[in-house]
């Protein structure tokens, strides 16, 4: 590929709304362009990276027995009504009507559609297990799209769904996906960690998130310093709508439409550092803030409590209260330090977060239990608080908090959708049974952004080769010289023959511009060919990440790549 024919519109300045480095660099490197809030065009260079990430995902999914399909993005409301999520999903679901006034939505995820397919296809246990996946555009009307590809409204996801005849089968399918995810993110060259995640009403560690470790991550992960335990202390995230959400003992009428406010608005109520972490505020009829949902950091909760007018309406539940609300068997062995932010609807616990459980601070274990409205409650009894037995850092060395970006999520759904949608099969004895499902997502476009969060320096991106748009860049410093052009062609052809994906910078630009752009777009290996070097019999190879330069002999340079 020749740069003169390949469109890479690099920019000197980052867009004004870019807060994180991946957003800045993706735009400056000409990889993405914004159409409107949270909606981007993948430009030629950006698309190459995404395609490479998708190819790795596809390969590993196929290895793990996945069958690729492509489902429609527009989904009929009937299916969502059948599963019960039409009324439950909230504003993230973009709803639309056709000319006949029938309701549809743009797919934020595809449990309903896939279950509809499988219930129509699978009759017998002999057809199971089955794993279907797709790599496709999703739409979620995020409250606050930001960070470029990291939290878009339109984004690319790989979503897989497994169908099994029994629990053992589901466990096996889940394990296979868990292993595939480890392979995928390792191959991509990412520093990541699988963490126990919010498993809502299902309980237990039936959900894992794959977190790319980066300061700009929106999730907080609790990691044991000495054993392998890691869990998500997820930020509180709920969209309240006036008719559905109740806040503790404040009657609904007195709460004006609970609203999601911008940071700027929130700043007028609270001091700035606290405001930066507030996601949602609830207001009473007088427009006073009565409660806030914040991200899950313990310290920040405290900041918030000092600043809210009616702080007493929030949290600090005792274990006894929790036991009472949840009816759960709470078997703590020692004194418990437990915090809960809670949102009730019809006296049902709908959201709880940041459970800090332990005998003392040193072994405090943070367990996040979040009951979002898209995680249907099958009854309080299913909500199980962790007991001493569940705590991994048994080593008692204490935990530390670190930031992560959720790039993947594996989840045992059980019969949640197969039951409501009637996805059944006949077992060995001819008896009708409900299938057990799992769902498994990867944010393919988010992966590219998080890769940049982890791999950059002050000059630009330092792509790891597996998802770099090209593996090598040959910089032609003197396009007027036949000798240089011939050598560049020779190197280009040779690298192509070696199966190396190569771009040649043959633009009419000064060397300074070429070097700057080369560093900005972050192709891992640069090979510089100039008239002076050729006279001295050398080519220069530069490792983009380390900056290390190596002189290669012009004659026999090929040896270096064998
Ligand atoms: P988040 O907690 O970041 O909102 P999620 O838990 O809502 O993500 P899932 O429903 O688990 O997301 O979807 C599977 C994967 O899709 C996520 O692990 C993430 O990598 C990706 N993803 C989710 N929302 C977005 C988004 N708005 N933009 C880009 N990728 C996303
Ligand atoms: Mg989300
Ligand atoms: Mg999440
Ligand atoms: Mg998730």
What's the whole-number mean pLDDT along residues 2-19?
96
**Contacts with 142 (C-beta within 8 Å, 6 or more apart), sequence order:** 38, 92, 151, 152, 153
Asked whether residue 116 carries a pLDDT value surpassing 70, the answer given is yes
- Please name which of 16, 33, 14, 39 lies closest in space to residue 25, comparing C-alpha atoms: 14
pLDDT mean across residues, the chain: 76
Q: Of all protein residues, whose CA lies closest to atom 3 belonging to ligand 1?
A: 406
Q: Of all protein residues, whose CA lies closest to atom 28 belonging to ligand 1?
A: 151
Name the token pair of 198. Answer: 């919010």
Residue 169: predicted pLDDT: 97
| Alpha carbons 129 and 127: distance in angstroms, whole number | 6
Q: How far, rounded to the nearest angstrom, does the alpha carbon of residue 311 sit from its chain's CA centroid?
A: 32
Residue 460: predicted pLDDT: 98
What's the whole-number mean pLDDT along residues 74-84?
96
- 406 within ligand 1 shell (Cβ under 6 A): yes
What's the whole-number mean pLDDT along residues 169-196?
95
Helix axis angle for 167-187 and 44-63, nearest 10°, is 140
What's the whole-number mean pLDDT along residues 436-442?
97
Q: Which of these ranges, 329-343, 476-490, 516-530, has the smallest mean pLDDT? A: 329-343
Global pTM exceeds 0.80: no
Ligand 1 pocket test target in 38, 441, 442, 447 with most atoms within 8 Å of CB: 441
Burial group, residue 377, by CB count within 10 angstroms (0-12, 13-18, 19+): middle
- 304 within ligand 1 shell (Cβ under 6 A): no
pLDDT band at 418 (very low <50, low <70, confident <90, very high): very high
Residue 235 CA to ligand 2 centre (angstroms): 11
The residue to which tokens 């019999």 are assigned: 537
Pairing of strands 424-426, 103-106: unpaired
- 157 within ligand 1 shell (Cβ under 6 A): yes
Q: Which atom of ligand 1 is nearest to the CA of 145?
A: 27
Q: Of all protein residues, whose CA lies closest to atom 29 belonging to ligand 1?
A: 151
Residue 324: predicted pLDDT: 46
What's the whole-number mean pLDDT along residues 206-233?
79
What's the whole-number mean pLDDT along residues 537-550?
95
Beta bridge partners of 550: 541
Asked whether residue 171 carries a pLDDT value surpassing 90, the answer given is yes
pLDDT band at 318 (very low <50, low <70, confident <90, very high): very low
Asked whether residue 373 carries a pLDDT value surpassing 50, the answer given is no
Element (DSSP H or E) covering residue 75: strand 74-76
- Answer for the pair 417, 112: CB distance below 8 angstroms, yes or no: yes
Q: Which atom of ligand 1 is nearest to the CA of 142?
A: 27
- 341 within ligand 1 shell (Cβ under 6 A): no
Asked whether residue 307 carries a pLDDT value surpassing 50, the answer given is no
**Contacts with 245 (C-beta within 8 Å, 6 or more apart), sequence order:** 238, 252, 258, 282, 343, 345, 350
Asked whether residue 107 carries a pLDDT value surpassing 70, the answer given is yes
Asked whether residue 477 carries a pLDDT value surpassing 80, the answer given is yes
Asked whether residue 251 carries a pLDDT value surpassing 90, the answer given is no
- 151 within ligand 1 shell (Cβ under 6 A): yes
For residue 218, which ligand has an atom nearest its CA?
A: 1
Residue 539: predicted pLDDT: 93
Q: Of all protein residues, whose CA lies closest to atom 24 belonging to ligand 1?
A: 151
Q: Of all protein residues, whose CA lies closest to atom 13 belonging to ligand 1?
A: 441
- 108 within ligand 1 shell (Cβ under 6 A): no
Residue 227: predicted pLDDT: 66
Residue 90: predicted pLDDT: 79
Positive/negative CA dihedral, 470, 559, 186, 436: positive
**Contacts with 288 (C-beta within 8 Å, 6 or more apart), sequence order:** 309, 310
- 174 within ligand 1 shell (Cβ under 6 A): no
Residue 298 CA to ligand 3 centre (angstroms): 19
Residue 205: predicted pLDDT: 52
Residue 128: predicted pLDDT: 98
Q: Which atom of ligand 1 is nearest to the CA of 405?
A: 3
Ligand 1 pocket test target in 296, 375, 409, 451 with most atoms within 8 Å of CB: 409
Name the token pair of 521. Answer: 């777009």
- Please name which of 532, 520, 224, 511 lies closest in space to residue 394, comparing C-alpha atoms: 224
Residue 346: predicted pLDDT: 38
Percent of the chain with pLDDT over 70: 67
Residue 26 CA to ligand 3 centre (angstroms): 23
| Alpha carbons 440 and 450: distance in angstroms, whole number | 19
Q: Of all protein residues, whose CA lies closest to atom 19 belonging to ligand 1?
A: 443
Dihedral pair phi/psi, residue 207, rounded to 5°: -145, 130
Range among 230-234, 247-251, 477-481 rated most confident: 477-481
Q: Which of these ranges, 105-119, 357-371, 432-446, has the smallest mean pLDDT? A: 357-371
- 139 within ligand 1 shell (Cβ under 6 A): no
Residue 219: predicted pLDDT: 81
What's the whole-number mean pLDDT along residues 100-126?
98
For 388-459, strand residue ranges (E) read: 399-414, 424-426, 432-434, 436-443, 456-457
pLDDT band at 65 (very low <50, low <70, confident <90, very high): very high
Burial group, residue 438, by CB count within 10 angstroms (0-12, 13-18, 19+): buried
Burial group, residue 434, by CB count within 10 angstroms (0-12, 13-18, 19+): middle
Asked whether residue 516 carries a pLDDT value surpassing 50, the answer given is yes
- 449 within ligand 1 shell (Cβ under 6 A): no
pLDDT band at 331 (very low <50, low <70, confident <90, very high): very low
30-39 contacts, C-beta under 8 A, 24 or more apart: 30/521, 31/469, 31/521, 32/148, 32/149, 37/145, 37/153, 38/142, 38/145, 38/146, 38/151, 38/152, 38/153, 38/154, 39/145, 39/152, 39/153, 39/154
Asked whether residue 325 carries a pLDDT value surpassing 70, the answer given is no
């Amino acid at each position: 590929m020749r740069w003169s024919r390949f469109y890479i519109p690099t920019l000197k300045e980052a867009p004004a709304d870019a807060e994180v480095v991946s957003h800045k660099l993706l735009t400056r490197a000409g990889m993405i362009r914004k159409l409107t809030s949270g909606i981007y065009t993948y430009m030629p260079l950006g698309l190459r990276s995404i395609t490479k990430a998708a190819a790795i995902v596809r390969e590993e999914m196929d290895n793990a027995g996945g069958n690729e399909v492509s489902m429609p993005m527009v989904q009929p409301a009937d299916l969502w009504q059948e599963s019960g999520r039409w009324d439950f999903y909230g504003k993230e679901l973009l709803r639309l009507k056709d000319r006949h006034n029938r309701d549809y939505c743009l797919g934020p995820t595809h449990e309903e559609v896939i279950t509809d397919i499988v219930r129509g296809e699978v009759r017998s246990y002999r057809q199971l297990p089955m794993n279907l996946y797709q790599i496709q555009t999703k739409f979620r009307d995020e409250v606050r799209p930001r960070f470029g590809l990291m939290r878009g409204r339109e984004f690319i996801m790989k979503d897989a769904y497994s169908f099994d005849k029994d629990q053992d089968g589901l466990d096996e399918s889940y394990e296979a996906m868990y292993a595939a995810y480890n392979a995928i993110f390792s191959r991509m060259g990412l520093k990541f960690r699988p963490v126990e995640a919010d498993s809502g009403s299902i309980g237990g560690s039936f959900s894992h998130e794959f977190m790319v470790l980066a300061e700009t991550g929106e999730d907080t992960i609790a990691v044991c310093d000495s054993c392998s335990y890691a869990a998500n202390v997820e930020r509180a995230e709920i969209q309240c709508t006036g008719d559905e959400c109740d806040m503790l003992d404040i009657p609904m009428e007195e709460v004006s439409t609970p609203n999601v406010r911008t940071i700027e608005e929130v700043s007028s109520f609270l001091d700035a550092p606290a405001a930066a972490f507030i996601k949602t505020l609830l207001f009473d009829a007088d427009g006073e803030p009565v409660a806030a949902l914040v991200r899950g950091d313990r310290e920040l909760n405290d900041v918030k409590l000092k600043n809210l007018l009616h702080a007493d309406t929030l949290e600090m539940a005792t274990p006894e209260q929790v036991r009472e609300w949840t009816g759960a068997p709470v078997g703590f062995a020692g004194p418990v330090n437990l915090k809960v932010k809670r949102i009730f609807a019809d006296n049902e616990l709908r959201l709880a977060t940041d459970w800090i459980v332990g005998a003392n601070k040193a072994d405090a274990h943070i367990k996040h239990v979040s009951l979002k409205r898209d995680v249907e409650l099958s009854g309080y009894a299913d909500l199980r608080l962790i007991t001493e037995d569940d705590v991994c850092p048994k080593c008692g060395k204490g935990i530390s908090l670190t930031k992560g970006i959720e790039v993947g999520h594996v989840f045992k759904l059980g019969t949640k959708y197969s039951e409501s949608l009637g996805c059944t099969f006949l077992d060995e004895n001819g008896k009708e049974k409900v299938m057990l499902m799992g769902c498994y997502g990867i944010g393919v476009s988010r992966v590219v952004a998080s890769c940049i969060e982890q791999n950059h320096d002050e000059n630009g991106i330092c792509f790891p080769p597996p998802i770099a748009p090209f593996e090598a860049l040959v910089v032609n410093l003197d396009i007027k010289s036949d000798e240089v052009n011939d050598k560049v062609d020779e190197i280009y052809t040779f690298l192509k023959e070696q199966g190396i994906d190569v771009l040649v910078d043959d633009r009419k630009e000064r060397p300074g511009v070429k070097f700057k752009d080369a560093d900005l777009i972050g192709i891992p290996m640069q090979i510089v060919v100039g008239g002076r070097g050729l006279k001295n019999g050398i080519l220069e190879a530069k490792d983009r990440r380390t900056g290390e330069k190596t002189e290669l002999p012009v004659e026999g340079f090929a040896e270096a790549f064998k």
